[in-house]
Structure 1
């Protein structure tokens, strides 16, 4: 991982791209590529994993880089889109939106930006 983050190694449930958001699976020590803001997010990969059972490092604390899936502004809180890319986190009535952190700089689709790792949730009443 980046010199500015602390990471943990996980077993990949399948292929996961580089600098993409991961989610926890129901298997101990395993992550998969995230696909929704409502996924229980684990963190962001550096190099990714080519296939299931590969080891993958996931940033868990500090500051790192993530690929964005659309326009984000510096200061936006970030969650996952359908492709594991970071997008602005927006509350969804009656659901829990999981946040990986806060953008340190603006970006547009497919840019890789710095973000501060700050896992949290947004919960809105139904």
Structure 2
């Protein structure tokens, strides 16, 4: 049996299925759009969600996510401009929010599994 921590919030904008999300207000989520966004999970809305609708998101556990670029198995990932997973690679001294770790290698356009757990990474 899968063990997931799933919550529901109100969509503060259009949210696609299998994308990183962040809070925009108490009880409201929007699709993430940058590596610096404080990502809280992965959307789990097979039909997507629009402003005012209820939207499920996975806070912790194994989730499928849309991939925005080449990522290696085990790599820490963050959001691109469309909420898709890309390798977290902050510049020297810069920070990136990490939202999970790849369970498999993947390329842009794939749907792949990640272990959702948030953190922070600083470039060396």
Counterpart mapping for 1:48-87 below 5 A: 49-87=48-86
Separation of aligned partners in 1, 2:55 and 2:2:
17
2:43 paired residue among 28, 45, 51: 45
Count of matched residue positions in the alignment of Structure 1 and Structure 2: 123
Deviation at 1:93, TM superposition (A): 3.8
**Under a length normalisation based on structure 2, what TM-score does the superposition of the two structures give?**
0.90
| Structure 1 unaligned residues grouped into runs of 5+ | none
Separation of aligned partners in 1, 2:49 and 2:55:
9
Partner of 1:30: 28
Q: Is the 8 A contact 1:38 1:95 kept in 2?
A: no
| Structure 2 unaligned residues grouped into runs of 5+ | none
Deviation at 1:91, TM superposition (A): 1.9
Partner of 1:13: 12
Separation of aligned partners in 2, 1:50 and 1:63:
21
Deviation at 1:124, TM superposition (A): 4.2
CA RMSD of aligned residues (A): 1.8
Deviations 1:46-82 (A, max 9, x none): 2264310111111011111111001111011010000
Deviations 1:8-53 (A, max 9, x none): 101111110000111121x101111111000110110122643101
**Under a length normalisation based on structure 1, what TM-score does the superposition of the two structures give?**
0.89
